[in-house]
Chains A and B, each alone.
Chain A
Amino acid sequence: MRDDYDDYRPTAAQRKRRREKRKMRRKILFTQWVFVALFAAMGTFICFYSLRYKRELYENSFNGRESKRLAQITKGSILAADGSVLARTVENADGTETREYPYGNVFAHVVGYSDNGASGLEYDYSVETSTSSLSLSEKAALDEKGEKYGGDSVVTTLDPVIQQAAYDAMGAYKGAIIVSDPKTGDILAMVSKPDFDPAKVAENWTTYVNEDPTVGTLLNRVTQGAYPPGSTFKIVDTIEYLKEHPDDWQNYSFDCTGDYIVDNYKIHCFHYEVHGEENLLQSFANSCNCSFGNIGLSLDKDEWNSTMSGLLFNRDLPYDYTYNQSSVHLTDDTDTQETVQVAIGQGETSMSPLHMNLITNAVANGGVLMNPRLVSAIDTAAGTTVKTYNTKEYGQLFDSWIADELCTMMRAVVTDGTATKLADAAYEAAGKTGSAEYDASDETKSHAWFTGFAPVDDPQVSVTVIMEGGGSGGEVAVPAAKAVLDAYFAKRLYIGEKIKYPDLVKWKLRHHAGQPTVWCVTLPEQADMPEILHSMYLCSRYYRENPPLIIGIAGSRDDAFELVRMIVEEAVRADGDPNVRKFLFPHGVRVRRSRSTAEREDA
């Protein structure tokens, strides 16, 4: 059709070209999208890779960035739960810096060393301690003075008093002690011997390298020690037995004649003792090998395996740092001999003290295991909290009625059984001893185990002790545990009688909430003797900014006086000197504060 637009119409050649152009447009756009997709993939890869591996790349020894940072930042300190300094960097007269460990060998393994590589918390938190989270104004102020920034401090859950007690209790034995709080999972003390001086590791490096491999000075035996559990494994057997016989476990009865023979295989009780007729509780209390050999053979192996798996054998523990898994081998093909050995905690079974402590915590906490927590917070050098690590529940490992029964049985171990050395303590302790043989040729050689908690009706602390070559658990490990528990129950927050809910009072004090009926016994700065302060004063601005150190809470003024009297009496009785500050905090104390005040330390 002809019209005025003929001149506008494309010719055939032009139409052909336009078709071609359209097709080419498709190809060009295809190429465009290919490259856009390629770049999108690359961008995603970059972001994920660098953000995911940031920590590992930073810690790599070839990465020079840490040393550049440390030129600007003083490495942060590691603090105990009450503020005592476990590790810090000080500047020498000639300008160099040294890492100081005020407690020396006591915290050797858990805090670790940092001068020839690193271990322990020094290794695990090297990124945090070489980062400074001070606010910009604080950094600017330091820049004006020409000083380095302070790195962040790591606040642990460790308690120096208990750690020292555990360290002393270990004596000359090799082994490990771990003390924790079953309700929160906080680790209060972690001692491993043989120990070393963390400030002198580089000097003594050749000694450590050339020493006998069985010594293992630098090895943290709490987390990486692999020991046969011995009789402490009977806890696991009992859990399984109770699971399998929920209704008639009370009917269990065994007559122990000192020997137990089955399938041409014989085991005997410790020191060839004869226990006579016993039910489950008595077998447990007496730690009767024969009885538990019998129990072990009666258990269903599949269920037993799944229980042990539920108790974290052959599996990862919820522990964030270096550790070794515990292992136990039990299959359908395991023969009688091996089964009996497993039941009494010998054979190829190996456990770490940490794992043992976790199982004990589960028993003490009604079957619920809390994740072990070593670090509670990261603070800036000025005291403000940067990051908090909350307590976390791992899960219910077994029913709470099983836990209750086990508590009763473990109390029986203390009152009537193998751990009678704990029976006369001021608190009601419960636990299980163990003597784990480790030398097939000589059955007198055994490790001394004890794992327990106190008080039994409301467990607040659990302790696991192993002393290599200690012999009998009841003889050697239990007194060590007693020393530790004594230390725990000795110097706590002094709580008056009228306070019904001490945890609530503590929480309110921390959050500056007014409590008209609470008086606090405080230890003011620069003073050695306690003072009494009504808790409402803590809401005032001065005390908000300068929180006092509270050593006791009381429900009335008279109660508070009574507490002060008690404290001073204890101090005089212990040291002969009424200096309460020296009695309670011989290594010094630091109060963790909020903003606006600089770090203060007395030592």
Chain B
Amino acid sequence: MRTYILALTRYSIMGFMVLYTVLSLYQLRNIGHARRRKVCLYLLILIFLINALSFLTIAVGNSDLSYFGLFIAETIGFAASVYIYMQLYPRGNLTLYIHVIMMLSVGLIVIARIDFSEAIKQFVIAVIGLVITIVVPYFMRRFRFYKNLTYIYAAAGAAALLAVLLIGNYVYGSNLNFTIGGITMQPSEFVKILFVLFIASSYYEASSFREVFITGVIAAMHVLILIASNDLGSALIFYVVFFFMTYLATGKPGYLILGAAAGAAGAILCVRVFAHVRTRFIAWRDPWSVIDGDGYQITQSLFAISGGGLFGLGLTQGTPGDIPFVDKDFIFAAICEEMGLIFAMCVMIMCIVIFINIIWIALNFDDRFYRFAAFGFAVVYIFQTFLTIGGDVRFIPLTGVTLPLVSYGGSSVLATIIMFAMVQGIYIMQQDQIAAQRRRNGAYRRRRNVYPDYGRRASGYERIPIRGEIEGGDETERYGRNAGTGYASRKEDTYGYGARPERTYGTGNGARAERLRTYSAGNRTRPERLRTYSPEQPARTERMYDRTDYPAEDAARSECRRVRPDRNADSEGWPDVTGFLSGYRNRPEEGRTRNAERRDDSDPDATDVFDQLYDSLFGDEGDSEENTGYSQGNSGRYNG
């Protein structure tokens, strides 16, 4: 029995991981909310299965049942955190949260295999981090003043790094951390966050050469302090992040080229001048010549990676302990050896998927600060991942950074989770804006009694207005993919008026298009006109107007999928299996649209608890595009 378990679980683990990767790539597509939530459920189930099988294998391989204790604690902890998160932030990006949990659990599996006590420590810190994740978005919503704290970030970051340089422990040739009261902290991880915020806030107002220069000087200061403490990997990350964010802020690709050239020159200089850099360079080019000295680590890593083959040797069947620092820097090699190349490639693709997730949040946000911040976090994450994996496989020289969320390291895990929490905060703020926008749209239309014309094709049950295809579609106007069709290509592909006008209209100048539509499709302002399109079914057109009042996520729910007439909005055509995921707890009054309620003008701007609190405390600070009449705050193509 033991033989079978040890030999066969790796195939199922690999299969589940491949499935997870495929599903997370699917999540990147243009799918509707309900489907997304359903896939999130599948992802959680897959995480559970992968964990279960892995811990089973480890427990059987080491003949020790205490691993199940960690497994149960992990399951309960992660499931609870997901549930709490969904309840508190129904507009949060559940997919990203689940990806974070996935990376954490992969890390926990491999670290548990290597050293059980380390895994327990990692788990405890992960739980602390997830608790922080719950609090951070709230604070981000509440306190909007941090865009102006440029120099405070810079000072705090520099001070932390200086502290490491001056009072840090000198560990294996570099000052990376210091110990206070028995707890070892690695501040450079947290300083990454401060650094990104610093650059984002410094470029928030303007990004002319003056700002670039000042920011550059301060960034250079950070980098030099890091080089002085011999933390070359972090120095490189800071350097690259600075140049990418400057490129984004200024819009000039020259900065990227300058950064690459200066970086290359600097690297060559460092290799010539610094002995320890030279040894790393030699260990990269020809590790076989120094196999018993500097090249030992990388050659053991290569043995491990190639020894695993495509499917791996199976957990507990390999020897990851041969590699020094396998739990920190070389965790990728351990994954390759025991779980196989396919699994490791899936982990790599997952890193890219997380990166793309964060980038798309940056893509769609209107406020520059948040866009820069999200972009900066994304580049930090992905570049650190690239340095780690590249160093492990001899693609680039070793730089001494760890794989975020997977490697063992309290500060690293905590800092990365905080980073993701801030990204979630940005996302939630974005979704709040979208929701507010839609609410305003609805209120406006009710007030002014103007409704969009869905066109003559949008009559009949099956003609459901699709996202973006708001004003109906004359065939002559083809904007976006689904425009002009008059009906949804997928039944979930709807959630509402005001969504993604840019994609629909292509040029983004929806005003003109709308004007055209107004004139080409007839007079919009008279609902009576529309009734003539389907004279035999007057009731149906009324229901179409119902759909103008889409609340944030409910749009994709059963209303839109309903293809049979159902006057009673209480009963739904579909069993609500994903109801518990939909998180509509906060706004039950918006979950159903009844004609009577709609006509009631009493509460056009129903908001949730946090929004009310915020408004009461701070009022409307006039955050850029919130007050636009147009639904431009809402390029909600990406909607986790």
Q: How distant is A138 from chain B, measured CB to nearest CB, in Å?
A: 10
Cα distance A136–B2 in the bound complex, in angstroms: 11
Q: How distant is B246 from chain A, measured CB to nearest CB, in Å?
A: 11
Q: Is B328 part of the binding interface, using a Cβ–Cβ cutoff of 8 Å?
A: no
Cα distance A140–B1 in the bound complex, in angstroms: 7
Are A42 and B525 in touch, CB under 8 angstroms? no
Within 8 A of A (CB), among B372-405: 375, 379, 382-383, 386, 389-390, 393-395
Within 8 A of B (CB), among A479-529: none
Q: Is A603 part of the binding interface, using a Cβ–Cβ cutoff of 8 Å?
A: no
Partner of B303, one of A38, A49, A65: A65
Given contacts A3-B518, A35-B382, A53-B306, contact A62 B291 (CB under 8 A): yes
Within 8 A of A (CB), among B582-634: 624-625, 628-632
* Max count, chain B CB within 10 A of own CB: residue among A17, A25, A50, A58: A50
Cα distance A54–B299 in the bound complex, in angstroms: 13
Q: Is A93 part of the binding interface, using a Cβ–Cβ cutoff of 8 Å?
A: no
Q: Is B209 part of the binding interface, using a Cβ–Cβ cutoff of 8 Å?
A: no
Q: Is B352 part of the binding interface, using a Cβ–Cβ cutoff of 8 Å?
A: yes
Are A17 and B624 in touch, CB under 8 angstroms? yes
Within 8 A of B (CB), among A133-153: 136, 139-140, 143
> What is the 8 Å Cβ interface bit string for chain B, positions 237-272, against chain A (1 contact, 0 not)?
000000010011001000000000000000000000
Within 8 A of B (CB), among A56-76: 57-58, 60, 62-65, 68
Given contacts A7-B629, A28-B248, A31-B375, contact A45 B393 (CB under 8 A): yes
Q: Is A23 part of the binding interface, using a Cβ–Cβ cutoff of 8 Å?
A: yes
> What is the 8 Å Cβ interface bit string for chain B, positions 338-352, against chain A (1 contact, 0 not)?
000100110011011
Chain B residues in 8 Å Cβ range of A11: 628
Are B355 and A50 in touch, CB under 8 angstroms? no
Cα distance A416–B365 in the bound complex, in angstroms: 98
Given contacts A21-B366, A35-B352, A136-B7, contact A64 B322 (CB under 8 A): yes
* Max count, chain A CB within 10 A of own CB: residue among B251, B450, B525, B630: B630
Q: How distant is A2 from chain B, measured CB to nearest CB, in Å?
A: 10
Chain A residues in 8 Å Cβ range of B573: none
Given contacts A3-B515, A7-B444, A57-B307, contact A32 B625 (CB under 8 A): no
Cα distance A58–B309 in the bound complex, in angstroms: 11
Q: Is B286 part of the binding interface, using a Cβ–Cβ cutoff of 8 Å?
A: no
11 new A-B contacts at CB < 8 Å, known A35-B386, A50-B302, A58-B306: A14-B630, A31-B248, A35-B383, A42-B393, A46-B341, A46-B345, A50-B336, A51-B310, A57-B303, A57-B307, A62-B300
Q: List 26 A-B contacts (CB under 8 A).
A: A10-B629, A14-B630, A14-B632, A17-B624, A18-B632, A23-B251, A24-B371, A29-B359, A31-B247, A31-B375, A32-B359, A35-B355, A39-B352, A42-B393, A46-B341, A46-B393, A50-B336, A54-B306, A54-B309, A58-B307, A60-B299, A60-B303, A62-B291, A65-B318, A139-B7, A143-B3
Cα distance A51–B318 in the bound complex, in angstroms: 17
Q: Is B292 part of the binding interface, using a Cβ–Cβ cutoff of 8 Å?
A: yes
Q: How distant is B207 from chain A, measured CB to nearest CB, in Å?
A: 11
Are B632 and A31 in touch, CB under 8 angstroms? no
Cα distance A3–B511 in the bound complex, in angstroms: 11
Are B518 and A32 in touch, CB under 8 angstroms? no
Instruction: Provide the main secondary structure of the chain A interface.
Output: helix
Chain B residues in 8 Å Cβ range of A392: none
Q: Is A27 part of the binding interface, using a Cβ–Cβ cutoff of 8 Å?
A: yes
Chain A residues in 8 Å Cβ range of B319: 64-65, 68
Within 8 A of B (CB), among A1-47: 1, 3-11, 14, 17-18, 21-25, 27-29, 31-32, 35-36, 38-39, 42-43, 45-47
Are B395 and A42 in touch, CB under 8 angstroms? yes
Q: How distant is B15 from chain A, measured CB to nearest CB, in Å?
A: 17
Are A43 and B348 in touch, CB under 8 angstroms? yes
Q: How distant is A602 from chain B, measured CB to nearest CB, in Å?
A: 30
Are B630 and A24 in touch, CB under 8 angstroms? no
Partner of A42, one of B247, B300, B318, B390: B390
Cα distance A7–B386 in the bound complex, in angstroms: 47
Q: How distant is B283 from chain A, measured CB to nearest CB, in Å?
A: 14
Are A10 and B299 in touch, CB under 8 angstroms? no
Q: How distant is A507 from chain B, measured CB to nearest CB, in Å?
A: 36
Interface residue ranges, B against A (CB under 8 Å): 1-4, 7-8, 244, 247-248, 251, 291-292, 296, 299-300, 302-303, 305-310, 318-319, 322, 336, 341, 344-345, 348-349, 351-352, 355-356, 359, 362-363, 366, 371, 375, 379, 382-383, 386, 389-390, 393-395, 444, 448, 450, 502, 508, 511, 514-515, 518, 525, 624-625, 628-632
Top 10 A-B residue pairs of the complex, sorted by shortest distance between their CB atoms: A50-B306, A8-B629, A7-B629, A140-B3, A63-B303, A57-B306, A54-B306, A143-B3, A9-B511, A8-B630
Q: How distant is B158 from chain A, measured CB to nearest CB, in Å?
A: 26
Are B2 and A143 in touch, CB under 8 angstroms? yes
Select from chain B the residue with minimum beta-carbon distance to A63.
Answer: B303
Are B352 and A51 in touch, CB under 8 angstroms? no
Q: How distant is B456 from chain A, measured CB to nearest CB, in Å?
A: 21
Instruction: Provide the main secondary structure of the chain B interface.
Output: helix
Cα distance A46–B310 in the bound complex, in angstroms: 11
Partner of B362, one of A8, A28, A47: A28
Query: How large, as a class, is the contact surface on chain A?
Result: 35 or more
Q: How distant is A8 from chain B, measured CB to nearest CB, in Å?
A: 4
Select from chain B the residue with minimum beta-carbon distance to A55.
Answer: B306
Chain B residues in 8 Å Cβ range of A136: 3-4, 7-8
Cα distance A4–B628 in the bound complex, in angstroms: 15
Chain A residues in 8 Å Cβ range of B348: 39, 42-43
Q: How distant is A303 from chain B, measured CB to nearest CB, in Å?
A: 44
Are B302 and A57 in touch, CB under 8 angstroms? yes
Cα distance A49–B345 in the bound complex, in angstroms: 14
Q: How distant is A4 from chain B, measured CB to nearest CB, in Å?
A: 5
Cα distance A7–B628 in the bound complex, in angstroms: 8
Are B7 and A62 in touch, CB under 8 angstroms? no
Are A14 and B625 in touch, CB under 8 angstroms? yes
Given contacts A28-B362, A28-B375, contact A42 B386 (CB under 8 A): yes
Q: How distant is A165 from chain B, measured CB to nearest CB, in Å?
A: 43
Chain A residues in 8 Å Cβ range of B355: 32, 35
Chain A residues in 8 Å Cβ range of B344: 46
Select from chain A the residue with minimum beta-carbon distance to B352.
Answer: A39
* Max count, chain A CB within 10 A of own CB: residue among B309, B363, B502: B363
Are A9 and B630 in touch, CB under 8 angstroms? yes
Q: How distant is A70 from chain B, measured CB to nearest CB, in Å?
A: 13
> What is the 8 Å Cβ interface bit string for chain A, positions 400-435, against chain B (1 contact, 0 not)?
000000000000000000000000000000000000
Cα distance A18–B365 in the bound complex, in angstroms: 11
Given contacts A17-B625, A28-B359, A35-B386, contact A46 B448 (CB under 8 A): no
Q: How distant is B265 from chain A, measured CB to nearest CB, in Å?
A: 20
Chain A residues in 8 Å Cβ range of B508: 18, 22
Chain B residues in 8 Å Cβ range of A63: 303, 307
Are B632 and A28 in touch, CB under 8 angstroms? no
Cα distance A154–B82 in the bound complex, in angstroms: 55
Q: How distant is B204 from chain A, measured CB to nearest CB, in Å?
A: 13
Q: How distant is B366 from chain A, measured CB to nearest CB, in Å?
A: 7
Are A31 and B345 in touch, CB under 8 angstroms? no
Cα distance A64–B336 in the bound complex, in angstroms: 16
Cα distance A36–B303 in the bound complex, in angstroms: 27
Given contacts A18-B508, A23-B251, contact A10 B303 (CB under 8 A): no
Q: How distant is A134 from chain B, measured CB to nearest CB, in Å?
A: 10
Q: How distant is A18 from chain B, measured CB to nearest CB, in Å?
A: 6
Chain B residues in 8 Å Cβ range of A68: 319
Select from chain A the residue with minimum beta-carbon distance to B1.
Answer: A140
Cα distance A581–B101 in the bound complex, in angstroms: 69
> What is the 8 Å Cβ interface bit string for chain A, positions 66-92, against chain B (1 contact, 0 not)?
001000000000000000000000000
Are A49 and B394 in touch, CB under 8 angstroms? yes
Cα distance A9–B508 in the bound complex, in angstroms: 12
Cα distance A514–B383 in the bound complex, in angstroms: 68
Cα distance A24–B292 in the bound complex, in angstroms: 49
Cα distance A301–B248 in the bound complex, in angstroms: 69
Chain B residues in 8 Å Cβ range of A51: 306, 310, 341
